[in-house]
Amino acid sequence: MIKRIFLMLASVSFSLIFSQETKPSKPVMGFYINPTVNLGYNLANRIKDNQNKDSQDYQQNVSPYLPNDFTYGITAVAGYNFIPNLALGSGLKYSFIADNFHLLYWVFQPKIMFNSGDEPIFVDLNYGKQINRSAVSDSQFYGLKLGIQISYLKRLSQEGGIILESHKFANSSAVFVGLSYGVTIFSNKNYTGYGED
């Protein structure tokens, strides 16, 4: 009797020791499309104090390339979320910087996500290269966006964020800080709680 109890306790102990608890894997979006709109304010010191605004050099070489205090734009990125905390995307960004500054950029965007699922916090790292001709050519920008996604439907989340962008133009530059709003449409219907049946 004691031998049977001992064997039963031993078998239960071994089954508990060697059994592996399966943790649910973190969800991924799969393929996604992310259109956003943004509004920004120019933080850069656009005109040096020692510049003579009435000089011919200023009027011809500096003034036409100065951005406005405010900018707005729209971005559309498509990408793939292949591991829970990282996605890679690419797309197009249109920015209105000033009169005749209608810039179209090709954008490369790694996305780092924390707490993937219903309400992930994310950081977008952006690099853009101008692909059209405008008042300037060969412009580029580096950007950072910190935001949160809020699930809305099975394959749709809304997002809001704070952006910081550094733009380099022909003879000037600007640093914009602002707000962004967009939606993310993704292929994995089980990415958020809305998809769970």
CA 22 to chain centroid, in Å, comes to: 32
Domain count, the chain: 1
Helix (H, G, I), strand (E, B) or coil at 161: strand
Residue 120 falls inside a structural domain:
yes
Q: Residue 197 pLDDT more than 90?
A: no
Write 109-112 long-range contacts (CB < 8 A, 24+). 109/77, 109/79, 110/86, 111/79, 111/81, 111/86, 111/87, 112/85, 112/86
Q: Which helix (H) or strand (E) holds 93?
A: strand 86-98
CA dihedral 52, 66, 39, 130 (to 10 degrees): -160
Q: Is residue 115 part of a domain?
A: yes
For residue 37, the model assigns a pLDDT of 97
CA distance 92 to 120: 24
Contacting residues for 156 by C-beta, under 8 A, at least 6 apart: 183, 184, 185, 186
Is the model's pLDDT at 75 over the cut of 90? Answer: yes
Q: Is residue 8 part of a domain?
A: no
Token pair belonging to 20 = 């592996």
pTM (2 decimals)? Answer: 0.74
Give the CATH number of the domain where residue 168 resides: 2.40.160.20
Residue 117 maps to a domain: yes
CA atoms within 13 A on the CB side of 57: 3
Give the model confidence (pLDDT) of 105-141 as tens digits.
Answer: 999 999 999 876 668 899 999 999 999 988 788 899 9
Per-residue model confidence (pLDDT) at position 151: 85
In a domain, 58, yes or no: yes
Higher pLDDT, 4 or 178: 178
Indicate whether 187 belongs to any domain. Answer: yes
Q: Answer whether residue 76 shows pLDDT above 80.
A: yes
**Residue 46 above 70 pLDDT?**
no
pLDDT band at 33 (very low <50, low <70, confident <90, very high): very high
Q: For residue 109, with 0-12 CB atoms within 10 Å meaning exposed, 13-18 middle and 19 or more buried, which class applies?
A: buried
Q: How many CA atoms lie within 13 A of 14 on its CB side?
A: 6
Does 11 map to a domain? no
The pLDDT-based confidence of 3 (bands split at 50, 70, 90) is low
Report pLDDT for 131: 94
How confident is residue 90, by pLDDT bands cut at 50, 70 and 90?
Answer: very high
> Model confidence over 148-173: pLDDT tens digits?
998 888 888 999 999 999 988 877 78
* Structural domain containing residue 61: 29-195
Q: Give the pLDDT confidence score for residue 24 in this predicted structure.
A: 54
Would residue 134 count as lying in a domain?
yes
Strand 70-83 relative to strand 173-186, pairing: unpaired
Between CA 197 and CA 193 the distance in angstroms is: 9
